[in-house]
Amino acid sequence: MKKPDKKIFYVLPLLFFGILVLIAAIDLTMDKTPNPYHANLIKEVPAFDIDGLSDADFGDAPAVVNFFASWCTPCVAEHPVISDLADEFPVYGINFMDTDEGRRSFLSRLSDPYRKIGIDAQGIAAAAWGISGIPVTFIVRKGKVLYRYDGPVTPKDADSILRLRLKEAAE
Amino acid sequence: MIPELGHFCLILALLCAGVQSFVPQLSARAAKAQFVFCAAALLLLVVCYLVSDLSVVNVVKNSHTLKPFLYKISGAWGNHEGSMLLWVALLSLYGFLMSGRAPVTAVRTQGLTGFGFLSFILLTSNPFGRIHPPPVDGNDLNPLLQDPGLAFHPPLLYMGYVGFSVAFSFAIAALREGKMDQAWARAVKPWVLFAWTALTAGIGLGSWWAYYELGWGGWWFWDPVENASLMPWLLGTALLHSVMVVKKREALKRWTALLAILTFSLSMLGTFLVRSGVLTSVHAFALDPARGIFILGLLGFFTGGALLLYALRAHLLSSDATFAPVSRESSLILNNLFLAVIAATVFTGTMYPLVLQALNAGAISVGPPYFHRTVLPVAVPLIALMAAGPFLPWKKAEMRGVAQKLKLSFAVSVCAALAVFAAATPHPGFSALGIGLAVWLVTGTLAKWAAHAGLPEQSLKNAWPRIRHMKASHWCLALTHAGLGIAIAGMIGTGPWTQEKLEVLEKGQTMDIAGYALTLEDVAPAFGPNYRALRGQVKVTPPGGNDFTLHPEGRYYPVAEKTTVEAAIRTSWRNDIYIVIGEQDSATEGFAVHAWIHPLVPLLWLGYTVMVLGGLIGLAGRKNEKTG
């Protein structure tokens, strides 16, 4: 019961590999500045209501919404930057798919910079905000999403992007 | 003088590698020479560390005159340049060992790989670079890496990673010659088993290190660097089983060739991920994009080239072997399928954040929730199958006979699962499934081992000679499979059953966790050879047992300007008590005491050890069977 060989199948691993190499090459060579494109992904603060936080909590002043979890290494990295931001602007935390012990341990070990924390154990709020991984940080004002920042906020970007936009929004 | 000699050895090794790959008549001899020069270079680097030659940049960056002796040696590979040198030295060792008994094409492929990675070292990562004027003292090794577990972790891990290069080279030879037969499988299998054993030991040591050195109260974090070692392990395990099918039945040849290519490619990818700076993680290594591009180029060349060869020649490796849907072959195909799916899932979870980053969508992390939800559902049928698979004969099997033999195991594991469920432990459903599977795997494997020994039909006295003369491969199967079962029980203990508590305690205060009372009696300064520490004294009162004292430490390494925590761990057969002491709380003068109770954690380490032991017996026995 010998079938004629479909040689084309044997090329698939090579094709798949080629695409990955291409992506990696782009990654290594490109200039890493955050993508302004994301500002357009969602324009309105989505309606959500999770344990500890809902869309009604944000008020009218410009605010920061930061998704974090204790298992997320980049979140640990950005924590000092978020804490500094919290000295100047209201920062709300959404704890993404975490355990109670994990969250408590994270906050007690690193400090708790958040004005309020929403507990999003099932990722419901994350789905509403349209994110698929963390950390992600949003700037919101009066029900509008002004900016989305993916990945750990670097001290440089906190000054040159987030603070700048928050100040603009306050005016 | 010594560094120059080392540098010169590397250049000579590069030339030998070139000869090995381009001059077929001389390739076996060149492989020996390449190994000699690589080993000499590695040795010379170790000498530079031992005498603390501070005119060598690498020593200055990663060592210190006061560093303990063991870490002076391990410091030689505790950094980027040195670890790449170790990688290449092992590659050349494998090339040397296989040179007498492998097809010329395989030896040449091995030489080409060595050529690529030696060029990488010489062009971007020379460990022998000098510095002038030499500084007064060195910067010290990253204190997290100053640990006996981690001193031996890289050599073992690399032995595994690089060991798969032999299977890769053999696969290239098979594709080039358009021929893969039983002899090919017999020749390649011990190499795969050796690499698998070393990788298992390396991963085990790594997770042990993560458990007691990082002070995070866990042993596996789905960190990309950990995943980078898990992926070759998964595919290597699949390869080990598919090679058996080739060896027995000459089936699955194309799949085996592809697996061999992918396993070593993932090993190289692991190196690429850790070395290129694409990843930010707990694994503290220098970042350098130029190196990343170079390794990516190597990966592109070797994997791309191998896959191109596969695309062109795989159709030549056809097979006429047939087998029934229920047979040893089918069970091994299922094993391969599940392992490959898990590897692909881990690959996706590891690479997806990197791909997003590449597309400039930011560095994000999908984390343990993703891996738990995707990997575990596939692992369950795989483990369930592992106990039954070895009972199936080749070609065609009777379901009823197998079910008969596993009746008892099934009954015992269902009882165990029900007992766990009834005991209402945390996450009862999940824990019951996990413990049930662990018991199923251990008892099922034991049943197979007993069947080999002629038990229970024979009396133990009659079976004894059969046990003594049992084939090494049967021991290997029994120990590796049962070892995984034991480890799974440990994973359930450290996973869902673990308890954790963090409190700020002032001296004399007490906290309770799972019936244990922990009293912070004192915190006092302490000193080590190259660090100073705050040493806590915590009295532990177990429920109804005798008191004992634990000493968790927070260490500060002034030269490296880094702080580490040294968890204090008390192990018993039941559980581990794991205590970490944090910094002083400025408001209350108390100290943050973080405690965990990890039930069954010794089983995890025992499981790893039994698996490695199984691999070693399989290797040793193979030799005896051949000579004896």
The interface residues of chain A toward chain B in range 43-82, judged by CB-CB distance below 8 A, are: 69, 71-75, 77
- Residues of chain B with pLDDT > 70, as a percent, come to 92
Alpha helices in B534-628 (DSSP H): 601-627
A154 vs B485, which has greater pLDDT?
B485
Question: Residue B360 is encoded by which pair of tokens?
Answer: 């400039």
DSSP H or E run through B598: strand B591-599
Instruction: Give the pLDDT band of residue B334 (cuts 50, 70, 90).
Output: very high
Do residues B501 and B511 make contact, with C-beta atoms less than 8 angstroms apart? yes
- On whether any CB of chain B is under 8 Å from the CB of A21, the answer is yes
Asked whether the beta carbons of residue B315 and residue A10 sit closer than 8 angstroms, the reply is: yes
Same domain, B138 and B51: yes
B65 and B175 both lie in a single domain: no
Q: Is B353's pLDDT higher than 80?
A: no
B498 to chain A: closest CA residue? A101
Stronger pLDDT, B64 or B167, i.e. the higher one: B167
B223 to chain A: which residues are within 8 Å by CB?
73
Contact A26 B289 (CB under 8 A): no
Residues of chain A contacting residue B354, judged by C-beta atoms under 8 Å apart: 23-24, 27
Two structure tokens written together for B423? 């005991």
Which residue of chain B has the CA closest to A132?
A: B366
**Per-residue pLDDT averaged across B577-598, rounded?**
81
Is B239 a member of any domain?
yes
Same domain, B547 and B582: yes
Same domain, B503 and B559: yes
Q: Which of B119, B146, B173 is the last residue of a domain?
A: B146
pLDDT over 90 percentage in chain A: 18
ipTM field:
0.74
List chain A residues with CB under 8 Å of B308: 14
B58 and B114: one domain? yes
Q: Which one of B316, B360, B586 would you mutate to disrupt binding with A, by most A Cβ within 10 Å of its Cβ?
A: B360
Does A3 touch chain B if contact means CB atoms closer than 8 Å? Answer: no
- B528, containing H or E segment: none
Give the number of other Cβ atoms within 10 Å of residue B572's Cβ.
Answer: 11
- What mean pLDDT, rounded, does chain B reach? 86
Based on the fold, state whether residues B492 and B419 are members of the same structural domain. yes
Structural domains counted in chain B: 4
pLDDT reported for residue A117: 93
CB contact under 8 A, B354 and A21: no
Sort out which chain B residues have CB atoms less than 8 A from A5's CB and list them.
315, 318
Residue B553, strand partner residues: B535, B566
The fraction of chain A above a pLDDT of 70, given in percent, is 87
Nearby residues of B612 by Cβ (< 8 Å), 6 or more positions away: B197, B200, B201, B204, B483
Indicate if B489 and B505 belong to the same structural domain.
no
pLDDT at B142: 67
Whole-angstrom Cα distance, residue B102 to residue B106? 6
Average pLDDT over residues B370-379: 89
Q: Are residues B536 and B75 in contact, defined by beta-carbon separation less than 8 angstroms?
A: no
Regarding whether B237 and B171 lie in a shared domain, the answer is yes
Cβ of B362 within 8 Å of Cβ of A71? The answer is no
A29 interfaces chain B, CB cutoff of 8 Å: yes
Separation CA B301–CA B307 (nearest Å): 10
Span B272-279, average pLDDT: 64
Residue A28 banded pLDDT, cuts 50, 70, 90: low
Write down the pLDDT at residue A2. 46
Domain for residue B272, yes or no?
no
- At B401-456, the pLDDT tens digits run 888 888 999 999 999 999 988 887 778 888 899 999 999 999 999 999 988 888 77
- B278, part of any domain: no
With an 8 Å Cβ cutoff, are B276 and A28 in contact?
A: yes
* A66, containing H or E segment: strand A63-68
Delimit the domains of chain A by residue range: 35-170
The SS3 of residue B388 is helix
Distance CA B126, CA B277 (A): 18
Q: Flag whether B567 is in a domain.
A: yes
3-state SS class at B587: coil
Left, alpha or beta for B585 (phi > 0: left; psi -120 to 50: alpha)? beta
Which residues, 6+ apart, have CB-to-CB distance to B221 below 8 Å? A71, B210, B282, B368
CA B625 – CA B628 distance, rounded (Å): 5
pLDDT of residue B360: 59
Residue B476 and residue B452 share a domain: yes
C-alpha–C-alpha distance, residues B220 and B99, integer Å = 38
Same domain for B464 and B328: no
Asked if residues B40 and B9 have their Cβ atoms less than 8 Å apart, the reply is yes
CATH top-level class of A35-170:
alpha beta
Nearest by CB to residue A151, choosing from B310, B363, B501, is: B363
pLDDT of B118? 96
Measure A54 CA to nearest chain B CA, in Å.
23
Q: Enter the pTM of the model.
A: 0.83
Asked if the model's pLDDT at residue B507 lies above 70, the reply is yes
Q: Which residues of A touch B294 (CB under 8 A)?
A: none
Does residue B295 fall inside a structural domain? no
Most distant CA pair in chain A, distance:
77
The CA distance from A91 to the nearest CA of chain B, in Å, is 19
Residue range B553-576, pLDDT digits in tens? 888 877 766 777 788 888 887 888
Place of tokens 């001290």: A155
| Cβ–Cβ under 8 Å, residues B381 and A111 | no
Q: Let me know if residue B273 belongs to a domain.
A: no
- Does B397 have pLDDT greater than 90? no
* Alpha helices (runs of H) in B23-75, residue ranges in sequence order: 27-50, 57-62, 69-75
Supply the pLDDT for residue B454: 81
* Domain hosting residue B247, numbered range: 156-262+301-388
Inspect the interface and report whether the beta carbons of B311 and A75 lie closer than 8 Å.
Answer: no
| Mean predicted confidence (pLDDT) in B602-606 | 91
DSSP A76-95: HHHHHHHHHHHHHS-EEEEE
A161: contact with B, CB 8 A cutoff = no
Residue B586 φ then ψ, to 5°: -70, -30
Q: Chain A closest CA to B203's CA: distance in Å?
A: 20
From A85's Cα to the closest Cα of chain B, the distance in A is: 19
Q: Tokens 């357009």 identify what position? A: A40
In this prediction, residue B129 carries a pLDDT of 87
What's the confidence (pLDDT) of residue B96? Answer: 95
Of B388, B420, B447, which residue constitutes the final position of a domain?
B388
Confirm whether B377 is domain-assigned.
Answer: yes
Q: Are residues B491 and B508 in the same domain?
A: no
Whether residue B232 is found in the same domain as residue B319? yes
DSSP-derived letter for residue B561 is T
- Beta-carbon separation of A27 and B314 below 8 A: no
B274 domain residue, yes or no: no
- The 8-class DSSP code of residue B544 comes to T
Q: Say yes or no: A142 contacts chain B, CB-CB below 8 A.
A: no
Of residues B265, B311, B362, nearest to A34 (C-beta): B362
Each residue's pLDDT tens digit, A73-120: 778 888 989 999 999 999 999 998 888 888 988 888 888 999 999 999
Measure the CA–CA gap between B150 and B225, rounded to whole angstroms: 14
Contact yes or no for B19/B30 (Cβ under 8 A): yes
* Residue B280 pLDDT class (50, 70, 90 cuts): very low
Average pLDDT over residues B345-361: 76
Report the SS3 class of residue A149.
strand
